[in-house]
């Protein structure tokens, strides 16, 4: 097992990573918190596969389960409201605990339920996907709105993150690839050594083994933890964690949530951000090399042709970092060194169209 601590201005909490930790480390966290009742908010597919294992681990405490369908569509206000209703009917009180059992959708949804139920009760993240190594840490919890992703939410830190690698063994290749995009992001924005190792060692996501998983999860979370420690509520450098996400979220929303995976959309967004860094900042990033690697891994290397540029710009204008007619993009001065730059909408539209039209995309 590997462990690191995430520190924020108000608290700190452990991230416990390893095979079988749900059966060993989770109980220690539960005994520390001593909840009056536990509500497991679970991805229905994960609950079907691993629910019995989790329920054995929490059997010392009164527990209920609320399972939601897999997919981004479940991160809705209606699902959030239904869970709140269920929690009230089951008699959860301020000493109760929520366990978020699933991927990033469940972590965001369950975290927002915990943040707002009786004005806030504790929760623990139990990530079951590689993608969730990013979302499970840092305390950003939310639900989606048709007008934009994660627009209704809060900053609310978990009490712990218990990351059992055994749960990742059943992930389909497409889900591994989606999570791997966020690992690459952490290397590009904050750890050049991690990026170089990933690029050298991983050319096929289906060949990622437990050693690789543990290393990339640990180092990826370490990058995010360092940023969160400096800027918990995204007033400064935490915006760097959105590298690739401004366009990526627009692609997800424009296509319809669930039609394009988060990782695939972010991969396209990162390619545009790398290209834009070279074009707008005069950086000397290996764009063609990264693009070729992404293609080899199975990521899209362009925006889907049926998504209109004006539609994407409209979505980007609703990004939380947009203001006063400008869109703020997270760019790279070099690998491991970020900066933000604001673009007028028309200027960014022109650059996005050039990138889409060039034969190199």
pLDDT category at 235 given cuts 50, 70, 90 is: confident
What is the model's pLDDT at position 359? Answer: 52
DSSP 258: T
What is the model's pLDDT at position 213? Answer: 94
Check 133, 149, 245, 315 and give the catalytic one: 245
What is the model's pLDDT at position 283? Answer: 95
Check 37, 133, 242, 315 and give the catalytic one: 242
- Span 194-202, average pLDDT: 97
Place of tokens 């995010």: 224
CB-based contacts of 51, cutoff 8 Å, min separation 6? 40, 42, 65, 67, 101
What is the model's pLDDT at position 236? Answer: 84
- Please give the Cα distance from 306 to 291 (Å, whole number): 21
**pLDDT of residue 214 exceeding 50:** yes
Check 37, 149, 249, 315 and give the catalytic one: 249
- Please give the Cα distance from 10 to 125 (Å, whole number): 18
- Does 240 participate in catalysis according to the annotation? no
**pLDDT of residue 361 exceeding 50:** no
pLDDT category at 320 given cuts 50, 70, 90 is: low
- Does 186 participate in catalysis according to the annotation? no
Q: What is the pLDDT of residues 8-47, one digit of tens each?
A: 887 899 999 999 999 999 999 999 999 999 999 999 999 9
- Please give the Cα distance from 131 to 297 (Å, whole number): 16
- Please give the Cα distance from 51 to 25 (Å, whole number): 17
Check 238, 240, 252, 315 and give the catalytic one: 238
pLDDT category at 193 given cuts 50, 70, 90 is: very high
Place of tokens 């623990």: 124
Check 159, 175, 232, 234 and give the catalytic one: 234
Angle at the Cα of 314 (from 310 to 320), degrees rounded to 5?
150
pTM: 0.89
- Span 254-261, average pLDDT: 86
- Please give the Cα distance from 199 to 194 (Å, whole number): 9
Q: What is the pLDDT of residues 99-121, one digit of tens each?
A: 999 999 999 999 999 999 999 99
Full 3-state SS string of 321-361: CCECCEEEEEEEEECCEEEEEEEEHHHHHHHHHHHHHCCCC
- Does 245 participate in catalysis according to the annotation? yes
Q: Under a CB-based contact definition with an 8 Å cutoff, are residues 181 and 264 in contact? A: yes
Q: What is the pLDDT of residues 130-151, one digit of tens each?
A: 999 999 999 999 999 888 778 8
**pLDDT of residue 89 exceeding 70:** yes
What's the mean per-residue pLDDT of the chain? 94
DSSP 127: E
User: Residue 352 to residues 162, 243, 310, 319, 346: CA-CA distances in angstroms?
Assistant: 40, 16, 10, 16, 10
Check 133, 177, 262, 315 and give the catalytic one: 262
Check 182, 191, 232, 315 and give the catalytic one: 182
**pLDDT of residue 129 exceeding 60:** yes
Check 140, 149, 185, 186 and give the catalytic one: 140
- Does 119 participate in catalysis according to the annotation? yes
Work out the burial of residue 324: count CB atoms within 10 Å of its CB; fewer than 13 is exposed, 13-18 middle, 19 or more buried: exposed
- Does 262 participate in catalysis according to the annotation? yes
- Please give the Cα distance from 281 to 341 (Å, whole number): 9
Check 37, 75, 224, 240 and give the catalytic one: 224
- Does 31 participate in catalysis according to the annotation? no
């Amino acid at each position: 097992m590997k462990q690191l601590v995430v520190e924020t201005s108000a608290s700190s909490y452990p991230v416990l990573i390893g095979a079988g930790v749900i059966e060993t480390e989770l109980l220690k966290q539960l005994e520390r918190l001593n909840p009056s009742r536990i509500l497991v908010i679970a991805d229905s597919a994960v609950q079907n596969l691993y629910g019995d294992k989790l329920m054995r681990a929490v059997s010392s405490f009164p527990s209920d389960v609320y399972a939601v369908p897999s997919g981004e569509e479940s991160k809705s206000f209606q699902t959030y409201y239904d869970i709140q209703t269920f929690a009230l009917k089951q008699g959860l009180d301020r000493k109760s605990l929520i366990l978020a059992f699933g991927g990033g959708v469940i972590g965001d949804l369950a975290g927002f339920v915990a943040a707002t139920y009786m004005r806030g009760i504790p929760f623990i993240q139990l990530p079951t996907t590689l993608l969730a190594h990013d979302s499970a840490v840092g305390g950003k919890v939310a639900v989606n709105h048709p007008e934009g992703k994660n627009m209704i939410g809060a900053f609310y830190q978990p009490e712990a993150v218990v990351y059992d690698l055994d749960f990742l063994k059943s992930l389909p290749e497409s889900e591994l690839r989606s999570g791997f995009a966020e690992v690459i992001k952490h290397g590009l924005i904050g750890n050049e050594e991690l990026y170089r190792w990933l690029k050298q060692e991983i050319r096929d996501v289906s060949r990622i083994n437990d050693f690789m998983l543990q290393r990339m999860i640990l180092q990826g979370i370490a990058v995010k933890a360092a940023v969160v420690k400096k800027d918990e509520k995204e007033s400064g450098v935490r915006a760097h964690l959105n590298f690739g996400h401004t366009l990526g979220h627009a692609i997800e929303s424009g296509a319809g949530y669930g039609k394009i995976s988060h990782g695939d959309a972010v991969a396209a967004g990162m390619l545009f951000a790398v290209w834009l860094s070279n074009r707008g900042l005069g950086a000397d990033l290996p764009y063609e090399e990264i693009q070729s690697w992404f293609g080899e891994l199975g990521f899209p290397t362009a925006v889907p042709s049926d998504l209109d540029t004006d539609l994407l710009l409209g979505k980007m204008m609703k990004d939380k970092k947009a203001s006063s007619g400008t869109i703020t993009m997270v760019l790279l001065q070099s690998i491991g060194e970020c900066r933000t730059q604001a673009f007028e909408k028309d200027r960014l539209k022109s650059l996005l169209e050039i990138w889409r039209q060039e034969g190199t995309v």
